């Protein structure tokens, strides 16, 4: 498989993936049409995208078959006086892999010939060429002209072989040439049997042929004079054939264009982008639901409990109202799916749990975090320590007052020591209140954060993960369509 074939195959696979991914989001008719169109493209690709089909087309008596023999160097086509000359299509293939194409072209097994390959170094510039000698377009047999018309879409280079005496034939122009203006870049005209025309008339005939072609909208097409019998002009014809072989085949070009066209028709089924769900996008929803469950009031009561030494009743969380949950859920879904086409937006809405299930799961998440009173152990230790220090300071001064020589002999020093100890005790009691308040605040923060984490986990399960599956499917579809249609 060459680079072109690999590229077209990658596009086809991308389109196939896009169709599969979007199956549930496309109208059945559009899905069926895209599937059928892709199947046709695949069939075209199976014919061979590395092949270059060069077809010799011409009327009866133009010497077309003799020309095919001269180009190939083989005597593989019929030539003679019997009319119509070419009864059945014949083909010569350079290299391997042409069988599917020859089957499609309707070339019988006994009319297929193979000439060398790149391994034998015999005309390597023709590797992948299929030279096709078609039945005469003006045959008295209708089936012949029908075959010529049907094969046009897979031909890379049309070589019209004209009789210098019949190049202005009206049937040729009306039935064929006038309808091929779009193919003129892949067409040459060979004025065969030029040896039957006097030298002084050849230039005039060539100019006349060019004028007739221009009138058909085929201006600029190369006109080559040749004589298949004595090999005049064959080298120039081979140059055009080699040029056609070096280009992307019409099969590859057409397959690429058809894939892009199918992708283009599906482009309006996806948006230009999609939301990306993360914990950051769910965090505001978790906070709203926490407020709806009264978590703020619980936290406030826990903080207030640190302001007083008396018994303090803590608030209890509540189940959020279904209407509130419905509103919060709907707002989030709208923000996630607002830019998506209706079918994808509906898919996002349908993928997540309903309001009542979400409400129950939020209530369970809240209940999973117990409401406990803030610990006062450290503050009580400080209170007892402060009381002991105050008592110790007072005791020191009393002992000094009774003249105890063991403790203090200096009355002034005893006052200083007692004062410092008493102040330390007062400071410890004062700090106990601050420690209690800080502990209550930290406990409230931990509780609120723990509840939000539990709610966030419920949101991931109920909203985020199922919605992200649809959004990921949309992204893959969008990217695949972009790759197929690039």
Global pTM reads 0.70
What domains are there in the chain, each with its CATH number? 51-248 (3.40.50.300), 279-485 (no CATH)
Rounded to whole angstroms, the Cα distance separating 454 from 416 reads 56
For residue 53, the cross-strand partners are 130
Q: What is the pLDDT of residue 241?
A: 92
Q: Are 464 and 277 in contact (CB under 8 A)?
A: yes
Residue 228 has pLDDT above 60, yes or no: yes
**In a 10 Å sphere around its CB, with 0-12 CB exposed, 13-18 middle and 19+ buried, how is residue 36 labelled?**
exposed
**What is the average per-residue pLDDT within 36-63?**
86
Q: What is the pLDDT of residue 64?
A: 83
Q: Minimum mean pLDDT among 81-90, 168-177, 259-268, 360-369: which range?
A: 168-177
Q: Which band of pLDDT confidence, cut at 50, 70 and 90, is reported for residue 82?
A: very low
Residue 45 has pLDDT above 60, yes or no: yes
User: CB neighbours (10 Å) of residue 432?
Assistant: 21
Q: What is the pLDDT of residue 183?
A: 67
Q: What is the pLDDT of residue 140?
A: 40
pLDDT digits (tens, 9 = 90+) for 145-164: 445 555 666 788 889 888 87
Q: Are 390 and 426 in contact (CB under 8 A)?
A: yes
Q: Which band of pLDDT confidence, cut at 50, 70 and 90, is reported for residue 334?
A: very high
Measured distance between the N- and C-terminal CA atoms of the chain, rounded to whole angstroms: 21
Q: What is the pLDDT of residue 84?
A: 45
Q: Minimum mean pLDDT among 7-11, 42-46, 118-122, 372-376: which range?
A: 118-122
Q: Which band of pLDDT confidence, cut at 50, 70 and 90, is reported for residue 262?
A: very high
**What is the average per-residue pLDDT within 88-113?**
86
Q: For residue 396, give both structure tokens.
A: 């020191």
Q: Identify the CA nearest to 379 among candidates 434, 320, 302, 454.
A: 434
More confident residue, 245 or 315: 245
Strand order in the sheet with 52-58: 112-114, 90-93, 129-133, 52-58, 157-162, 187-191, 223-225
Range among 15-29, 134-148, 306-320 rated most confident? 15-29
Instruction: Please name the residue that has the structure tokens 């046009």.
Output: 152
Rounded to whole angstroms, the Cα distance separating 203 from 211 reads 12
More confident residue, 155 or 83: 155
Q: Which band of pLDDT confidence, cut at 50, 70 and 90, is reported for residue 142?
A: very low
Mean residue pLDDT of the chain comes to 80
Would you tell me the crossing angle of helices 250-266 and 3-21 to the nearest 10 degrees?
Answer: 20
Q: Are strands 187-191 and 223-225 parallel, antiparallel or unpaired?
A: parallel
pLDDT digits (tens, 9 = 90+) for 169-218: 545 544 555 555 566 778 899 999 888 888 888 888 888 888 888 887 77
Q: What is the pLDDT of residue 415?
A: 58
Q: Identify the CA nearest to 224 among candidates 246, 239, 242.
A: 239
Rounded to whole angstroms, the Cα distance separating 237 from 61 reads 20
Q: Which band of pLDDT confidence, cut at 50, 70 and 90, is reported for residue 275?
A: very high
pLDDT digits (tens, 9 = 90+) for 360-391: 999 999 999 888 766 565 655 555 655 675 66
**What is the average per-residue pLDDT within 52-58?**
88
Q: What is the pLDDT of residue 12?
A: 93
């Amino acid at each position: 498989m060459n680079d072109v074939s690999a590229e077209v195959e990658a596009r086809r696979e991308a389109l196939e993936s896009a169709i599969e991914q979007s199956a549930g989001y496309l109208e059945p008719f559009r899905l069926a049409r895209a599937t059928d169109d892709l199947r046709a493209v695949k069939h075209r690709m199976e014919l061979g995208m590395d092949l270059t089909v060069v077809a010799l087309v011409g009327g009866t008596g133009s010497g077309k078959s003799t020309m095919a023999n001269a180009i190939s160097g083989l005597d593989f086509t019929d030539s003679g006086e019997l009319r119509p000359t070419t009864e059945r299509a014949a083909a010569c293939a350079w290299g391997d892999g042409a069988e599917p194409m020859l089957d499609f072209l309707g070339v019988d097994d006994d009319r297929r010939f193979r000439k060398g390959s790149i391994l034998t170094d015999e005309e390597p510039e023709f590797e992948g060429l299929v030279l096709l000698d078609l039945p005469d377009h003006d045959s008295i047999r209708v089936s012949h002209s029908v075959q010529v018309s049907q094969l046009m879409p897979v031909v890379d280079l049309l070589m019209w072989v004209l009789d210098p005496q019949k190049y202005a034939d009206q049937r040729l122009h009306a039935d064929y040439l006038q309808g091929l203006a779009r193919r003129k870049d892949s067409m040459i005209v060979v004025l065969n049997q030029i040896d039957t025309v006097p030298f002084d008339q050849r230039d005039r005939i060539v100019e006349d042929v060019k004028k007739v072609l221009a009138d058909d909208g085929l201006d600029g097409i190369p006109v080559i004079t040749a004589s298949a019998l004595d090999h005049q002009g064959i080298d120039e014809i081979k140059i055009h054939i080699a040029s056609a072989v070096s280009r992307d085949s019409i099969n590859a070009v057409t397959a690429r264009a058809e894939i892009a066209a199918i992708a283009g028709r599906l482009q309006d089924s996806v948006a230009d982008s999609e939301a990306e769900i993360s914990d950051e996008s769910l965090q505001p929803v978790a906070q709203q639901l926490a407020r709806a469950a009264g978590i703020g009031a619980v936290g406030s009561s826990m903080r207030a409990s640190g302001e007083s030494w008396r018994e303090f009743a803590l608030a209890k969380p509540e189940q959020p109202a279904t209407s509130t949950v419905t509103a919060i859920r709907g707002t989030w879904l709208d923000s996630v799916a607002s830019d998506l086409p209706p079918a994808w937006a509906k898919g996002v809405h349908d993928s997540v749990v309903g309001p009542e299930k979400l409400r129950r799961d939020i209530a369970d998440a809240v209940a999973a975090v117990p409401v406990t009173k803030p610990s006062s152990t450290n503050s009580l230790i400080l209170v007892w320590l402060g009381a002991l220090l105050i008592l110790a300071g007072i005791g020191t001064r009393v002992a000094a007052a009774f003249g105890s020589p063991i403790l203090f002999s200096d009355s002034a020093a005893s006052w200083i020591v007692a004062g410092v100890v008493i102040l330390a005790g007062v400071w410890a009691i004062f700090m106990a209140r601050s420690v209690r308040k800080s502990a209550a605040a930290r406990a409230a923060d931990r509780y609120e954060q723990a509840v939000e984490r539990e709610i966030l986990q419920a949101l991931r399960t109920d909203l985020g993960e199922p919605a992200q599956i649809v959004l990921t499917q949309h992204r893959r579809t969008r990217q695949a369509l972009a790759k197929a249609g690039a």
